[in-house]
Structure 1
C-alpha cells in the first residue's frame, strides 16, 4: 500500500482545523498512554484500558471520548462491549517523532 505524501501547504483551512484538533487531543500524557496501548491494530475496551492505566473508568471514558470526537480513535460495538482502536495507524508516527525529538 502506497502512502500518499501531503504537504502542509496543500491542506485547506478545514483540513488544518481537523489536524490541529487531533494534535490538541493527543497532547495529554494520559491520552498518549491510551494511544500507546492501541498501537499495531490493537482493539481494547474501556475496562481493559482503565485497568492497564490504573485510572478510574469514568476518566478513561472521558479521554476516549475526546480522542474519538477529534478523529484520533474509532470504536466498534461487539455484543456488550465497545472496542476502541486507532482510526489512522499513521498517528503513531507523530508520537514516535515527538519521543525521538524530546530526547536531548
Structure 2
C-alpha cells in the first residue's frame, strides 16, 4: 500500500498525482473533514491506517481545532479502497509528528 498525505488543500483542489511507475496506482483514501493537519502515518499488519493529526505544533493564535493532537484510525471495511470507518485511536499528546506500528500489533 502506498499512502499519499496532503494537507492545506481541500479534497476538490487536489489533483491526482502522476505515478512514474505503471505498477503503482494512486487513489484518494481519505480527506478533509475526516482527517486534517496530517503530520505522519503508519499502516499495521491488518492494513489499518493510523494518521497523526497535529493540532499543537506551531498552533496559530486563533486556531479553532482540538486542543491536543490525536491519532486517527482509518479502515476500509468494505474493500472499495476508501476509508469508511474512521475513529479517534488516541488523543491528548502535544507536538506529535509521527506514529509507528509494531509488527506484532
Question: As a proportion of its length, which structure holds more helix?
Answer: 1
TM > 0.5 between the two? Answer: no
- Normalized per residue, the structure richer in strand is 2
Could you tell me the TM-score, scaled by structure 2's length? 0.23
- Normalised by the size of structure 1, how large is the TM-score? 0.23
